[in-house]
Structure 1
């Protein structure tokens, strides 16, 4: 993000205020992992990832605020279509609710929204889409990611982990049944999917936090409350 003039900053602030006002009135039934606070955090991260990049910040801002305007539950049969549905709904919202929004930016915004999802497997083709994807995926790692995993799994009535085999050494992974399995099925894979160099470094850093949590959990399950299980750290630490 090249330095913005006062007019460009004011324009972003104007649209951010407009989006927040609309979302507070119309996006009120989402879980805590996909709410307005999530959109704000993704936008804050995206601004850091966009530093020194020649990008359209209004495209990024808008995609950050609407990327989960449709977010189907983890156990929904059409879950993988969430980002496509969110892109379609964003197109409708911008056209119907924000008459003065620059229409020439909508295609780029909708592409960034469609491509942000891990499950959709859509390749981001623009720098803006890559930044939005990375910013959203960073939300799934670190302390916030840890909290989100267990918040979502609790709302779905899932077990925290398999007490007999918590790290799935002798069974197939099943993150629709056990929250901890989601670390291996998705979260620890995220650093290798990052689109920007800065995003990858941050993802590796935050993935290590999740591995440290796993190592601490493993130690406690073995009755060791003061240390960590270094075999878990060796097995799951992200590759640089």
Structure 2
């Protein structure tokens, strides 16, 4: 039964249960918003997207569950959770479970998706899309969906609190850009503008864009009320994002 572990709603293949057990053991006590339930939700979103696209379900499932496995080490040591050391450690720790069932080539596709899942297609020069394979696109979309909507808002405040960020600063840089390789800085409120409101414009897949649209609108409603209660006059910036619709690669 899949409910051997909390939060899991989808059925799991028998071979995958030891993998889930390791992830539960490592991430179950996280308080930064990158906990076991987040890994499960990304896994299930990735599988849903993969099934709609006719992509490899098992690669999506495995990459989704493992994508943040080394977040704890990143917070403690600064080692990037999707960097070369983390990928090498994932290969070493999970090869005995995954390769007998997926094969070495498909496991490398899992690791490639994890290594590239934090690459964001925005900069001060505008938006761009790299030619990522479908496995990477699916994991990116699933993880980005978890950053917006009601759950994404809750996770953002968890993350900010865990890293000692203030809720709001008097001086907010609305033109700042999120860099996942830098330590968290600024305020929780600023993070909405440097990353979360931009996500709708960089979704990869059609299923991902459809799921994103409703969550993006909820994000806007939350910020509108938040800015009203905090007496932040930022109507021009929020209105610009209100007009945002999920972009396609053909729009760039």
Which TM-score applies when normalising by structure 1?
0.78
Alignment length (residue pairs): 221
Calculate the aligned-residue CA RMSD, in Å: 3.2
Q: Residue 188 of structure 1: which of 184, 197, 217 is its match?
A: 197
CA distance in 2 between counterparts of 1:200 and 1:238 reads 15
- Secondary structure at the aligned position of 1:140 is classed as coil
Q: Residue 219 of structure 1: which of 208, 223, 228 is its match?
A: 228
Note the residue ranges of structure 1 that are not aligned, 5 or more in a row. Answer: 1-8, 224-228
1:159 matched residue in structure 2:
166
CA distance in 1 between counterparts of 2:82 and 2:121 reads 7
1:48 matched residue in structure 2:
48
Q: 1:64 to 1:142 in 2, by over 3 A?
A: same
- Secondary structure at the aligned position of 2:13 is classed as helix
Higher relative contact order, chain-length normalized (CA < 8 Å, sep 6+): 2
CA distance in 2 between counterparts of 1:238 and 1:76 reads 40
5 Å-filtered alignment, 1:51-200, equals 51-71=51-71, 72-73=74-75, 81-84=80-83, 85-96=85-96, 100-101=100-101, 102-118=103-119, 123=130, 125-162=132-169, 164-165=170-171, 168=173, 176-200=185-209
CA distance in 2 between counterparts of 1:183 and 1:201 reads 20
Q: Is the 8 A contact 2:176 2:194 kept in 1?
A: no
Q: Residue 203 of structure 1: which of 189, 212, 220 is its match?
A: 212
Note the residue ranges of structure 2 that are not aligned, 5 or more in a row. Answer: 1-9, 123-128, 179-183, 246-252
1:5 matched residue in structure 2:
none
Query: Whose radius of gyration is greater, 1 or 2?
Result: 1
Q: Is the 8 A contact 2:59 2:109 kept in 1?
A: yes
